[in-house]
Structure 1
Amino acid sequence: MNRPDRKQNRLNGYDYSRDALYFVTSCVKDKVCCFGEVIDGEMQLNEYGYIAEQQWRLLEERYSYVILQAYVVMPNHVHAIIEIDRDSVGTGRDLSARRQTDETNAVAFPNPKVKPLSELIGVYKTSTSKLIRTAGLDDFAWQRSFHDHIIRTDKAYYQIRDYILTNPERWAEDVFYQ
């Protein structure tokens, strides 16, 4: 079966498991507004929106090298800055789960295999989908893939962070997501 050529989503040749800051956006299939609503410029999450937010936070708890920066769950999409940082391993979060001893009985922290960004987002979308369907939204689905942007400068970081944090204030004018 011949399939039409699809636009490549990721930067060709880039290692998405390397330490970096990534701006990601994932949309609900068909832009269905199922996570809540924006009232007076503030996002009001419903039951499904709380699941989406909780599962996002769990990425940081589950993967020692993930640091969540700014994020927002909107009615039909999620914007976030996620950081992969191997140096954060062994700095305080869930040390007991990573503690091992070497032959001298000294405490050592194993170098974890770092999931690339696409696998982290895949974990997020899969767990969120299962929980939202279990909670009663049987036909919930994410749009295929996600948008990403590698953040390379402080200026870009602050612009993107501001965009994320003020996203609910601009919802009424956001024709792309509505």
Structure 2
Amino acid sequence: MYKKHKQYRLYNYDYSQDGYYFITIITKDRAHFFGKIKNQQITLSAIGSYLKDNIQQFYPDETLENPYTNNPLYINSSPTIIAITEWAILPDHIHLIVEILNLENKAYTSVTGLSPLTKGSVSSFINHFKGNVKKWCNENDFAGFNWQQRFHDRIIRNKGEYERIAWYIRNNVLNWKGGDT
């Protein structure tokens, strides 16, 4: 009998459909590459600062009529906008709420088993996001940096759940249990 491949995503769910997703991405071996926390404040390292700049590219600007105007995917006329609406950087991981917004009507398909990355999906976005940070680290003499394989996700199902997760993210540095680093 063959061992079944462990499913890391919700079975039969299309992760490219409109919605909000709570994502956690961790560094390999939980190494503290992104900064140090002291007195409930994070001081970002060079990698942490680059990570913050990357996150902020996807942060909607609520002061504009179209809050996605500065989004790199919107600028490139992608049929899918991916925004990061909440985020926190800690020494060894990041939390994000990722919003997927399809600008064109599309038929959603159920996904079963292993399949290639779907353009405009959560997995595709995280793959490119992690790859961009890793590439920058390699080019800037941070060759020891690496991500843990995969990432954790949760589909946010309603406004109450969104608010609880957003509160958790906003207070994550305050609740840091890793001690001052």
Q: Which range, TM-score by smaller chain?
A: 0.7 to 0.9
Amino acid at match of 2:73: Y
Structure-to-structure mapping, 1:46-125, within 5 angstroms: 46-59=45-58, 61-64=71-74, 65-87=81-103, 115-125=120-130
Counting aligned pairs with the same residue, the percent is 29
Asked if 1:27 corresponds to 2:23, the answer is no
Unaligned runs of 5+ in 2: 60-70, 75-80, 105-117
- Compute the RMSD of aligned alpha carbons: 2.3
1:22/1:150 contact within 8 Å kept:
yes
1:63 to 1:144, Cα distance in 2 relative to 1, 3 A: same
| Structure 1 portions without partners, runs of 5+ | 89-112
CA-to-aligned-CA distance 1:98-147 (integer Å, 9 cap, x gap) = xxxxxxxxxxxxxxx95110000001000000112222211211000000
Q: When you count helix as a share of all residues, which structure comes out higher?
A: 1
Q: Do the aligned partners of residues 114 and 33 (structure 1) sit closer, same or farther apart at CA in structure 2, a change above 3 Å counting?
A: same
Q: 2:126 & 2:55 partners in 1: Cα distance?
A: 9
1:94-173 alignment, distance < 5 Å = 115-171=120-176, 173=177
Q: For 2:8, what is the secondary structure of its paired residue? A: coil
Task: State TM-score, norm by structure 2.
Answer: 0.75
TM-score, structure 1 normalization = 0.76
Question: Which letter maps to 1:72?
Answer: A
CA displacement 1:28-53 (0-9 Å, x = unmatched)? 00000011011211221111101112
Report runs of 4+ in structure 1 exceeding 3 Å deviation. Answer: 3-6
1:8 aligns with: 7
